[in-house]
Amino acid sequence: MKNLFCIILFLTVITVSAQSKPDTLKVMSFNILHGATTKGDFNLEAIAGVIKKYDPDLVAMQEVDFKTNRARKYNLPLELGYRTQMMPLYARAMYYDGGEYGEAVLSKYSLIYTENIALPHQADSEPRAAQVARFQTKNGNTIQFVATHLDHLRNETDRLMQADALVDEFKDEKFPTILTGDLNATPESETMKRLYRVFKKPEVKEAYQPTYSSTNPRVCIDHVLFNQPEKWSVLDYEIVCDDYVTDHCIVVVTLVFKP
C-alpha cells in the first residue's frame, strides 16, 4: 500500500509539472492623477487610450477616485475597465471628497482571489493600501499581482512602516508575486532596501531611469518588483513619459515566468 501511494504521488507531481509551462506577462504601473490630466481637464478616453496602446495583461493604477466630487462622481475603475475591456478591481485607502480614494487593478485574467491590505500610517498621514489580485493562467500557473502606492511625504517614516508591512505579508508567500506601483522611493532608499528583503528589482538599466515627473523626469519612484527571482526574466522594460495624461511616467514591463 505504501509503494502504491508513492507511485500515485509521483505520477501526480509529474502531471502537475507537465501542465505548468512558462508564461509571458506584460504589466503596467500607471498613476492616473485621479482621472484628471496635467492640463486640468478630465479625459478618461486619453487614459484608456494609453492602456490600449500598450496592451498590458495587468495594470496597477494609483491615485484612483471612486465616485468623488472631483472625479464627477465617476467610478473610475469601472469606467476604465469598460473602455479597455479589462476586469476592474478597486482597493479603497480612504474616504475622500464625497467618495473614496485608493488603488486599482485592471486585469485580462479572471481572478481567483482578491484582498485589500490596509497599510500602516501615522495618525496625521494619508492612509494607503495594497490591492492583491491572484489569477491562474492557461498554462496552469497561479500568480499574484500586488498594486500599491506608498506614502509621498519627504520623511520616510510612513513608507518604512508600509514597506515593513509588505515584507511581513509576503515573506513566506508560496505564490510568485509581482509588486508594482508608485512607491515614492528611489532605488537606493531605505524603503526600497527593506522591500528588497523579499522582492527583487530587475537588473536592467531601464529599471533605474527617472519616472517623475513626466515633463522633466529626474527621480525613479515607480517600480516593478517580484519575489522568487530565479523564476522571472525580463523581456522588455519601458518608461513612457506622456506629459498630458499624467504627471508620472508610466512603467511597462514584459516578464517571463518559468515555473
pLDDT per position as a tens digit, 82-122: 999 999 999 999 999 999 999 999 999 999 999 999 999 99
88, part of any domain: yes
**Per-residue pLDDT for 16 more than 50?**
no
Give the pLDDT score at 20: 76
Q: Is the pLDDT of residue 249 over 50?
A: yes
pLDDT at site 13: 45
User: Which pTM value belongs to this model?
Assistant: 0.92
As a whole number of angstroms, the distance between CA 208 and CA 69 comes to 36
Crossing angle of helices 44-54 and 76-84, in 10° steps, is 50
Quick check: is 1 in a domain? no
Amino acid 18: pLDDT: 46
C-alpha cell at 112: 481567483
Q: Is residue 1 over pLDDT 90?
A: no
Could you tell me the end-to-end alpha-carbon distance of the chain, in angstroms, rounded to an integer?
31
- What percent of the chain shows pLDDT beyond 90? 92
Quick check: is 11 in a domain? no
**Phi–psi pair at 117, nearest 5 degrees:** -100, 115
149 Cα distance to chain centroid: 9
- Measure the CA–CA gap between 126 and 108, rounded to whole angstroms: 30
**pLDDT tens for each residue of 35-56:** 999 999 999 999 999 999 999 9
Asked whether residue 78 is assigned to any structural domain, the reply reads yes
CATH number of the domain within which 115 lies? 3.60.10.10
Cα 21 to chain centroid, rounded: 23
Please state the rounded mean pLDDT for residues 115-136: 98
Q: Quick check: is 246 in a domain?
A: yes
Query: Which residues, including other chains, have CB under 8 Å from residue 187's CB and lie 6 or more apart?
Result: 201, 207, 208, 220, 223
Count of domains for the chain: 1
Cell of 92: 479603497
Tell me the C-alpha distance between 214 and 184, whole Å: 14
Q: What pLDDT shows up at residue 121?
A: 98
Q: Which three cell numbers stand for residue 173?
A: 508567500
Tell whether 66 is covered by a domain.
yes
Q: 204: helix, coil or strand? A: coil
* Mean pLDDT computed over every residue of the chain: 94
pLDDT tens across 52-65, in order? Answer: 999 999 999 999 99
- pLDDT band, very low/low/confident/very high, at 11 (cuts 50, 70, 90): very low
Residue 47's domain comprises 22-257
| 6 in any annotated domain | no
